[in-house]
Structure 1
């Protein structure tokens, strides 16, 4: 037990500004079975800017531990459970708390120091207590507590920021899901296209893509169809493709001349926009009762015209169309419609260049090879084309991200409805 005379109180000066200047108040618990020592150390630490609690044995010290205690100064030798037991108990119950533990002892042997350090002691003060060393211990504690409090504040800020970001991310994901759902709802449905059978594949490279597929009835027996591929991916491309989709539907061209004018108008609108954006496009009209159609290709891969049934073989071929520049390149671009036969057994397939990119990955090097592959479905229902492309995408690895949006749209006269001319092109 430490005797009060050995502490040399004359060193401490309550008026010394160096003791408290710029310091943060710490909560300190002083534990010693000698009441004189606890009061003296408590008074000295209080003058150094600390809030003091006093205890005289193990049990009282445990009861005194509460939120706000930053440092414990304990004697090694105490009746009953000594300072070593107290340190172990404190470390077990305050594993995550920034508690600085200081032991006062007259023992300087390595074994005692080693056991105390292993128990969880951070600093030692040897008897007689040197006030300067006490000041240094307090300074180290302040730095440690200051750092911990700073980390706590930053962790709190990070937690709040994380929660805000998580909330924003959830809202953004909901918005993206809603936008993706709007694009999916634009896809044509067979029940909306009298006199036609159809299939389509629509696989955006990201949640939102720049491709869009559309088809709408524009007159008795006539259907407008199109596939647009807006430059890029993501929100900007998706918004643009959604807008252009609606514009073509609104213009609803019903013949070859109206189709050319609609494409010219859309081209001018894209050029007039502030965004430097462009789109490849393929758009056409089929007249099922007349057994013919018209098509415009603007920077897009060539459409495929297939002849199905009747023992036909090897007849899938690229449709010879008048080439045109992509929409949004040149204001004076010419968009001329090409007429093609759309009689019994005809099957028209249009697709984006993203499909060709996927074909290259699966050892189908060009459009002619793709045509030959699709031609294997000529004696099957048109839905077999969509299923074949889906299998093609699966071959490259279903989890692999797409480099570009993949879109395909195929139509044929409905043989059941009888709403077509069974004739060949003159």
Structure 2
């Protein structure tokens, strides 16, 4: 229920105070009285609430203008409207009073009907002020709840990002003759990119890189699901047969994933990927490319070049045929896998980094240790981007075989 508006009437003439009080109470106000400015200030300081002050201009000890100035100096939490009663007519006087904090004036001798009308306007203003304060309080509480919710969500996102990073392999790792280096720079806290590599029972190395369409939590959850599915067993025992420890052809692993995800009406996400097996003894690289950017081969002598047949993303169409590409790697040859966040990284004017620049960069850093290749790509993209964050996840996985 709305509070009754409270008015303080300040006048050294008791008859005038009573007259104004009668008119004011008839308009539904609760009335307090003071005989001068000092008493009025004391009431304002101690009363729970004063909405309106009606004060005479001409009073002993403290006139109405100084009284206004003192009211404003109190810095009350709720604005107090001030109406001055005066016989003055000079514009300079009115300007001085408004500068001191007066809101309205009523000429003396005043017409009771005019005072009633002014009080009606004040009641409407007070009602509007009350609604605004209520709305502001509601907005404040809502903002506090939103801030609390956002903080909780951010904490959850940070925890999810830490959990996702723990699924990635070590940035630098040696497995037999193979040396791996990798990095992932998500465009947000969590990423739709995922990669991994692991030793298979026959001593070869299985590896993959996936890039789930979209960004945010949905893509990240899908990438985590794929991380759980794409383990060493998937490369060897994916169809339930041991094959005496021999890896499956990579295209069969991709086909199995496509079979799993296409018919599922609950899961409409799709993804690109590279899935492969590296034979450390022979240097043979067999991989399947499913809509993912082409791997880049950097031979010891010769220009970097893309390999692979392109392929079709996983999870869009049932019954897709996937093929393997076979590449023989001489000792010291490097292979660099990357997400489209590398080649499609846009400069401030919108130009993509592109394959040509990537190949040129990989040629320039060919003499650097493998552990510096992924860092070099990341730093080059930051420079190309102009020092700002990326619009898409950036992932790089590089490896080479030593003799």
TM-score > 0.5, shorter chain as reference: yes
- Mapped to 2, the partners of 1:365 and 1:36 lie a distance apart of 86
Change (3 A) 1:359 1:290: farther
- Mapped to 2, the partners of 1:221 and 1:154 lie a distance apart of 69
Check if 1:200 corresponds to 2:189: no
Change (3 A) 1:83 1:324: closer
Map 1:104-183 to 2 at 5 A: 104-183=85-164
Check if 1:375 corresponds to 2:363: yes
Stretch moving more, 264-273 or 152-161 = 264-273
- Mapped to 1, the partners of 2:16 and 2:346 lie a distance apart of 86
Residue in structure 1 matched with residue 219 of structure 2 by the alignment? 237
Residue in structure 2 matched with residue 46 of structure 1 by the alignment? 25
Change (3 A) 1:368 1:123: closer
Q: Deviations over 1:116-173 (max 9, x none)?
A: 3333322333333321111111112111211111111111111111111111111122
- Mapped to 2, the partners of 1:183 and 1:201 lie a distance apart of 13
State TM-score, norm by structure 1: 0.82
How far did residue 322 of structure 1 move?
A: 4.6
**Local SS of the residue matching 1:241:** helix
Check if 1:262 corresponds to 2:253: yes
Q: Is the 8 A contact 1:76 1:105 kept in 2?
A: yes
Q: Deviations over 1:280-320 (max 9, x none)?
A: 11111112234333211111222222333xxxx2153333x
Check if 1:283 corresponds to 2:275: yes
Q: Is the 8 A contact 1:210 1:232 kept in 2?
A: yes
- Mapped to 2, the partners of 1:216 and 1:34 lie a distance apart of 96
Residue in structure 2 matched with residue 228 of structure 1 by the alignment? 210
Which residue of 27, 35, 41 corresponds with 2:6? 27
Q: Is the 8 A contact 2:345 2:385 kept in 1?
A: no
**Local SS of the residue matching 1:201:** strand
Q: Is the 8 A contact 2:382 2:388 kept in 1?
A: no
- Mapped to 2, the partners of 1:326 and 1:110 lie a distance apart of 80
Residue in structure 2 matched with residue 355 of structure 1 by the alignment? 342
Change (3 A) 1:141 1:264: same
Check if 1:409 corresponds to 2:391: no
Q: Is the 8 A contact 1:224 1:252 kept in 2?
A: no
Change (3 A) 1:80 1:193: same
- Mapped to 2, the partners of 1:406 and 1:219 lie a distance apart of 31
How far did residue 95 of structure 1 move?
A: 6.5
Residue in structure 2 matched with residue 12 of structure 1 by the alignment? none
**Local SS of the residue matching 2:255:** helix
Residue in structure 1 matched with residue 262 of structure 2 by the alignment? 271
Change (3 A) 1:109 1:293: closer
The structure with the largest alpha-carbon Rg is 1
- Mapped to 1, the partners of 2:352 and 2:142 lie a distance apart of 49
- Mapped to 2, the partners of 1:114 and 1:162 lie a distance apart of 40
Across the aligned residues of Structure 1 and Structure 2, the Cα RMSD in angstroms comes to 2.8
**Local SS of the residue matching 1:324:** coil
How far did residue 58 of structure 1 move?
A: 2.0
- Mapped to 2, the partners of 1:343 and 1:178 lie a distance apart of 42
Change (3 A) 1:54 1:192: farther
Q: Is the 8 A contact 1:364 1:370 kept in 2?
A: no
How far did residue 364 of structure 1 move?
A: 8.6
- Mapped to 1, the partners of 2:316 and 2:90 lie a distance apart of 87
How far did residue 36 of structure 1 move?
A: 2.8
Change (3 A) 1:193 1:186: farther
- Mapped to 2, the partners of 1:238 and 1:187 lie a distance apart of 13
Check if 1:78 corresponds to 2:78: no
Change (3 A) 1:236 1:250: farther
Q: Is the 8 A contact 1:218 1:252 kept in 2?
A: no
Q: Deviations over 1:197-249 (max 9, x none)?
A: 11113222333332211112222422211111111222222211221122112
How far did residue 362 of structure 1 move?
A: 11
Change (3 A) 1:302 1:117: closer
